[in-house]
């Protein structure tokens, strides 16, 4: 059978440890036999980042701006132990942080729904995607431990010397104060990423804050979303048959628990931190989550939500058998290939990505899975497969369904 042609290359960001091993297996067994794979390859493995003084990370992000779609393997974020293990010149920054800062995006995470790995919330039938704003609020705060009686004020001094003051509280005794901020520019780019992602996945978008209590701060978020929607997205949403709606955060939480899923939930930074952990554990596991960085300029970077699975890698190095779940990494590849196919108008590539995702899901639904899932599945007598044998089982399913 002729291989599927690609018009434009993907940006391929290779990574570290167990996920690097999985990366190669996925390419060898699940992609290259079927697709004439074109990529611009960047080795973001820690050794090569160290050799290039991390220039390779910057180059890979630049390439993403040029080509539009990237797929990234999990990478080590160095700490003191890694400095020694890899004899590093510097404690290089998190590649994800560097790439996010350059592409200016929002991270969307969605569970991969499989029969037999059941969400603990019974009525959730389809995935719920969290879009987390990644700038400001309590993560960039200033705090004071108030020692005793006194007066607290918010003071803003403009460049021209104009001063705005707002009383906070007259303290009669000790307490605490916190100052937080956000930027119109960052909120707007968050909003645009959410609207773009909703359009590209054809799902409704929900956004919620506490604007009844925070009448200036949270209200600004609500207004920016509404302005961007009216100016640039209302017509596109109507054409796509999807909806944007705003509600209060407590109302959103209540609705999420009763919903069937199949929508995007945009959250302020803190809400997204807390709610994404709740969603991922209620849906099953981090190895069953997709993760994509969407830039407001229309660039997409697909990855797995988990790390490099160091403990399994050390077993692998000792020659012991591993059973590492490759589903999130397979879906990073299919996400990137599908997006490439959509942008290039190559429907065969889109079909291939959909087919590979279906084959992955039905392999698990047939009871063949890695150890992490075998522990939590409701399927009786599941077969626990090794890292490699799971990937080979997916290939068998793929060929059988072709």
Task: Look at strands 39-43 and 10-14 and give their pairing.
Answer: parallel
* Residue 77 sits in the site that holds ligand NAP (CB under 6 A): yes
For ligand NAP, which is the closer residue by CB, 74 or 353? Answer: 74
Residue 143's SS3 state is strand
* Residue 324 sits in the site that holds ligand NAP (CB under 6 A): yes
* Residue 286 sits in the site that holds ligand NAP (CB under 6 A): yes
Task: Look at strands 175-179 and 142-146 and give their pairing.
Answer: antiparallel
Q: CB-based burial of residue 268 (10 Å sphere; 0-12 exposed, 13-18 middle, 19+ buried)?
A: buried
Supply the minimum distance, in Å, between the C-beta of residue 132 and ligand NAP.
14
* Residue 350 sits in the site that holds ligand NAP (CB under 6 A): no
* Residue 325 sits in the site that holds ligand NAP (CB under 6 A): yes
* Residue 309 sits in the site that holds ligand NAP (CB under 6 A): yes
Angle formed by the axes of helices 217-228 and 184-201, nearest 10°: 50
* Residue 252 sits in the site that holds ligand NAP (CB under 6 A): no
Supply the minimum distance, in Å, between the C-beta of residue 311 and Mg ion.
21
Task: Look at strands 263-267 and 204-209 and give their pairing.
Answer: parallel
Supply the minimum distance, in Å, between the C-beta of residue 303 and ligand NAP.
6
- Residue 288: how many CA atoms within 13 Å on its side-chain side? 29
- DSSP assignment of 203-216: -EEEEEE-TTTSTT
Asked if residues 247 and 255 have their Cβ atoms less than 8 Å apart, the reply is yes
For ligand NAP, which is the closer residue by CB, 189 or 324? Answer: 324
Q: Out of Mg ion, ligand NAP, none, which partner does residue 140 contact, by CB within 5 to 8 A per kind? A: none
Supply the minimum distance, in Å, between the C-beta of residue 24 and ligand NAP.
15
Region 365-394 residues binding ligand NAP, contact defined as CB under 6 A: 372
Supply the minimum distance, in Å, between the C-beta of residue 284 and ligand NAP.
12
Q: Out of Mg ion, ligand NAP, none, which partner does residue 273 contact, by CB within 5 to 8 A per kind? A: Mg ion
Residues whose CB is less than 8 angstroms from the CB of residue 249 and which lie 6 or more positions away in sequence, other chains included: 208, 209, 210, 271
* Residue 273 sits in the site that holds Mg ion (CB under 5 A): yes
Binding residues for Mg ion, per CB under 5 A? 273, 277
């Amino acid at each position: 059978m002729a291989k599927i042609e690609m018009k434009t290359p993907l940006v391929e960001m290779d990574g570290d440890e167990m996920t690097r091993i999985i990366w190669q297996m996925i390419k060898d067994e699940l992609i290259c036999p079927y697709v004439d794979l074109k990529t611009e390859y960047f080795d973001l493995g820690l050794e090569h980042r160290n050799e290039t003084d991390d220039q390779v990370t910057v180059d890979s992000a630049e390439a993403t701006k040029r080509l539009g779609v990237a797929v990234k393997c999990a990478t080590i974020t160095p700490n003191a132990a890694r400095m020694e293990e890899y004899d590093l010149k510097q404690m290089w920054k998190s590649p994800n942080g560097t790439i996010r800062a350059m592409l200016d995006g929002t991270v969307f995470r969605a569970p991969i729904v499989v029969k037999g790995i059941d969400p603990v919330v019974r009525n959730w039938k389809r995935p719920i995607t969290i879009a987390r704003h990644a700038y400001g609020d309590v993560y960039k705060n200033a705090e004071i431990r108030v020692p005793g009686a006194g007066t607290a004020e918010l003071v803003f001094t403009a460049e021209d010397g104009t001063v705005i003051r707002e009383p906070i509280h007259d303290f009669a005794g000790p307490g605490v104060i916190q100052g937080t901020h956000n930027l119109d520019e960052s909120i707007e780019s968050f909003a645009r990423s959410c609207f773009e992602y909703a359009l590209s996945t054809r799902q409704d978008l929900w956004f919620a804050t506490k604007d009844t209590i925070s009448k200036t701060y949270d209200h600004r978020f609500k207004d920016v979303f509404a302005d961007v929607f009216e100016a640039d997205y209302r017509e596109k949403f109507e054409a796509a048959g999807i909806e944007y709606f705003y509600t209060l955060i407590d109302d959103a939480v209540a609705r999420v628990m009763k919903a069937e899923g199949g929508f995007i939930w945009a959250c302020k930074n803190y809400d997204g931190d807390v709610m994404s952990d709740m969603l991922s554990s209620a849906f099953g596991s981090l190895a069953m989550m997709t993760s994509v960085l969407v830039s407001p300029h229309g660039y997409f970077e697909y990855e797995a939500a988990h790390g490099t699975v160091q403990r399994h890698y050390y077993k692998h190095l000792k020659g012991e058998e591993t059973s590492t779940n490759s589903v999130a990494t397979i879906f990073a590849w299919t996400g990137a290939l599908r997006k490439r196919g959509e942008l290039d108008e190559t429907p065969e590539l889109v079909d291939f990505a959909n087919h590979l995702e279906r084959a992955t899901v039905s392999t698990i639904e047939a009871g063949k899975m890695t150890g992490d899932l075998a522990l939590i599945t409701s399927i009786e007598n599941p077969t626990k497969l090794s890292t490699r044998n799971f990937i080979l089982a997916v290939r068998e399913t793929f060929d059988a369904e072709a």
